[in-house]
């Protein structure tokens, strides 16, 4: 029998609530028809969907990254504020952008939600000066043209946006205004100087990846200005096909949730920066977004080739217990690496591959939403070192058809800084088997379990179709070496003495 143990004197660290952050971009129906839907009877006086706000409050969203994503690399923020909003053609996603939702609307949304805004700047076609002007608009009290413009637009108090990112994936050939490693380090340095001259209290990240040369150039040139290093990953790369990996391949992806974190952490340690710069994993999801014939040299010509297919992201049957299992494994990984990962942003939070789906008359909470609900409501914030003895294994075939061996369970053990008790997250990856596990650690009090599993690995939620939800059960008083029975393909959190 597998047995979970933890040395309660051995703490990894205190995780930031920002690892449960979200991301939203001007793509398909994330903004328009997603969070922002003026004229809908479900929207408030500002055009924000009230049902979406309520669902996001229930998962305690701590921070939202906006406006992109690829979109931002040709976005000029000044066109999206003020009384006159002129539409333009978004060259990243090849659609007209109305500019109806801009900086003021984003800040208002974050304030209503009670979360931190995280603004990603245009480092593609934009300039260091344009980025610093944006900081002026948001954070200066009244000095200069741009603070005055904010006041003129009806916002007398500064927004005090703390978190800013210089660029998005500017290392990639698909990105408008892509840069070489040398060009990138120089631009980040100049942008950071200007932005911190406007407001020295802001925290800056810059686009990076697990490439050694790119990161060394960036950190050598700009490390003194940075508080964060930004990395992204989508494991199931299906932007041209919309054909997701099967459940065994998803388990193989879950074998690699920490690979990028370890590589970047190792580089930060090698350069002596791990105490000063943290990782912002500020775009992540199992599935890539579906947008065929856009980020390719050969572009789609008709809208039926490149635009209409994006509706395929709205097929709710794609978001199954496989997505839930992977998401929980990644959240466990973020917790276990809380000493170096201080922020993460699920991409996106709504529609496309998001955890919430909207339609004119309501919303659907996908399986991944319920994972966030479990972790933000029931997990602790003090992360402990934990081991699972006699770990059983599963043999699977990954998306390349190669054989991999996967741990059957993924475990994270936490305590609470605000009071007594423990919370243990356990993911049973087995598609069909119940698994018995012992808790071999000291604890006191009643045990309550919260879980999601669905009827099978393909369970999903849709309009008038709800297979996946959070369930709970009382398990009595805790005794050391008590045994719990895990359901197949399940995400379960056990709270003890809380």
What is the C-alpha separation between 246 and 369, in angstroms, rounded? 20
Q: Which residue from 30, 37, 27, 35 is spatially nearest to 52, judged by alpha carbons?
A: 35
What is the C-alpha separation between 203 and 161, in angstroms, rounded? 9
Please answer whether residues 7 and 385 qualify as being in contact, where contact means their C-beta atoms are separated by less than 8 angstroms: yes
| Both structure tokens of 185 | 């380090």
Q: Which residue from 31, 141, 26, 137 is spatially nearest to 81, judged by alpha carbons?
A: 137
What is the C-alpha separation between 161 and 79, in angstroms, rounded? 19
Cα Rg of the chain (Å, integer): 23
| Both structure tokens of 266 | 């190792």
252: left (phi over 0), alpha (psi -120 to 50) or beta: alpha
CB burial of 340-379 (b: ≥16 within 10 Å; e: otherwise) equals: bbbbbbbbbbbbbbbbbbbeeeebbbbbbbbbbbbbbebb
Q: Which residue from 344, 420, 340 is spatially nearest to 380, judged by alpha carbons?
A: 420
What is the C-alpha separation between 190 and 126, in angstroms, rounded? 13
SS3 content of the chain, % helix, strand, coil (to 5): 30, 30, 40
Please answer whether residues 300 and 293 qualify as being in contact, where contact means their C-beta atoms are separated by less than 8 angstroms: yes
Q: Which residues contact 482 (CB under 8 A, 6 or more apart)?
A: 438, 439, 447, 475
67: left (phi over 0), alpha (psi -120 to 50) or beta: alpha
| Both structure tokens of 365 | 């909470």
Task: Give the SS3 label for residue 396.
Answer: strand
| Both structure tokens of 111 | 């304030």
- Cα–Cα distances (Å) from 431 to 237, 255, 366, in that order, read 23, 15, 19
The side-by-side arrangement of strands in the sheet containing 2-14 is 471-477, 446-452, 490-496, 422-428, 409-415, 382-389, 2-14, 435-439, 482-486
What is the C-alpha separation between 489 and 365, in angstroms, rounded? 18
Which residues are tagged catalytic? 169, 283
């Amino acid at each position: 029998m597998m047995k979970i143990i933890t040395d309660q004197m051995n703490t990894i660290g205190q995780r930031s609530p920002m690892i449960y952050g979200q991301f939203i971009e001007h793509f398909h129906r994330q903004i328009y028809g997603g969070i922002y839907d003026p004229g809908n009877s479900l929207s408030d006086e500002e055009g924000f969907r009230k049902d979406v706000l309520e669902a996001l409050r229930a998962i305690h969203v701590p921070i939202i990254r906006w406006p992109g994503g690829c979109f931002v690399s040709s976005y000029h923020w000044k066109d999206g504020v003020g009384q006159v909003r002129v539409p333009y053609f978004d060259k990243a996603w090849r659609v007209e952008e109305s500019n109806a939702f801009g900086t003021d609307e984003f800040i208002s949304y974050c304030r209503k939600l009670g979360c931190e805004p995280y603004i990603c700047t245009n480092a593609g076609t934009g300039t260091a000066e344009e980025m610093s002007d944006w900081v002026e608009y948001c954070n200066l009290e009244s000095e200069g043209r741009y603070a005055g413009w904010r006041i003129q637009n009806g916002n007398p108090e500064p927004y005090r946006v703390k978190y800013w990112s210089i660029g998005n994936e500017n290392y990639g050939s698909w990105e408008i205004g892509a840069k070489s490693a040398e060009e990138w380090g120089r631009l980040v340095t100049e942008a950071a100087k200007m932005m911190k001259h406007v407001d020295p209290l802001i925290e800056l990240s810059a686009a990076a990846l697990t490439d050694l040369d790119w990161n060394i150039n960036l950190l050598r040139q700009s490390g003194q200005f940075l508080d964060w290093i930004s990395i992204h990953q989508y494991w199931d790369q299906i932007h041209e096909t919309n054909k997701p990996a099967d459940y065994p391949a998803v388990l193989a992806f879950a074998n690699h949730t920490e690979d990028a974190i370890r590589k970047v952490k190792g580089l930060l340690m090698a350069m002596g920066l791990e105490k000063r710069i943290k990782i912002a994993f500020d775009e992540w999801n199992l599935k890539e977004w579906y947008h065929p014939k856009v980020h390719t040299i050969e572009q789609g010509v008709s809208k039926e080739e490149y635009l209409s297919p994006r509706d395929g992201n709205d097929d709710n049957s794609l978001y199954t217990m496989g997505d839930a299992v992977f998401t929980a494994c990644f959240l466990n990984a973020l917790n276990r690496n809380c000493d170096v990962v201080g922020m993460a942003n699920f991409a996106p939070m709504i529609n496309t591959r998001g955890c919430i789906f909207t339609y004119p008359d309501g919303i659907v909470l996908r399986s991944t939403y319920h994972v966030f609900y479990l972790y933000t409501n029931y997990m602790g914030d003090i992360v402990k070192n934990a081991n699972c003895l006699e770990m059983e294994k599963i043999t699977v075939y990954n998306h390349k058809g190669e054989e991999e061996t996967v741990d059957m369970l993924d475990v994270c053990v936490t305590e609470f800084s605000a009071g007594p008790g423990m919370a243990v997250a356990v993911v049973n990856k087995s598609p069909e088997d119940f698994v018995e596990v012992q808790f071999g650690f000291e604890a006191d009090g009643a045990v309550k379990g919260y879980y999601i599993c669905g009827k099978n690995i393909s369970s999903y939620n849709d309009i008038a179709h709800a297979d996946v939800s959070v369930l709970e059960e009382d398990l009595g008083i805790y005794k050391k070496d008590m045994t719990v029975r895990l359901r197949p393909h399940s995400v379960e959190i056990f709270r003890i003495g809380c």
